[in-house]
Amino acid sequence: MAHPEVSHQKASYQKALDQWAQDQKVLDQKVLDQKIRELQEWLRQAWQQLADPSMTTFSRRELRNQMKQCTADLRMHLQEASDRPPVPPATPSKRFAKPELRLLAWS
């Protein structure tokens, strides 16, 4: 028979492990969101740079090639983000239920 303290330690260890896994999912999601925002910002700036009339033909071609690669990376990250299940909130949201009312009569 397992010692009660050992089983309590196992339960608290499992709880900590589950919390760590949940935190890791949230962290991974935040990193992925940050990468997506960075790629979107880079593409926005690249489009502005592409509009510059002083760019040489070679520079334009190089920039467009980089934009194609960035677009492919962005699509990959967006697909990865859409494939992930939504991360549940860390604390359960408060739900308001209909209160149980009782009528009290004075006699």
Per residue in 62-82, pLDDT (tens digit) is 999 999 999 999 999 999 888
Mean pLDDT of the chain: 82
Q: Is 89 within the bounds of a domain?
A: no
Instruction: Identify whether 33 is part of a domain.
Output: yes
What's the one-letter identity of residue 30?
A: K
Share of the chain above pLDDT 90, in %: 44
Residue span of the structural domain in which 76 resides: 11-83
Residue 95 maps to a domain:
no
In a domain, 94, yes or no: no
In a domain, 54, yes or no: yes
Q: Is residue 1 assigned to a domain?
A: no
Question: How many whole angstroms separate alpha carbon 47 and alpha carbon 68?
Answer: 12
The 10s digit of each residue's pLDDT in 19-58 is: 767 767 777 888 899 999 999 999 999 999 999 999 999 9
Whether the model pTM is above 0.75: no
How many structural domains compose the chain?
1
Instruction: Answer yes or no: is pLDDT of 86 > 60.
Output: yes
Q: Please report whether residue 3 resides in a domain.
A: no
Map residue 107 onto helix, strand or coil: coil
Residues 6+ apart with CB under 8 A from 46: 63, 66, 67, 70
Q: Which residues neighbour 55 within 8 Å (Cβ) at sequence distance 6 or greater?
A: 49, 63
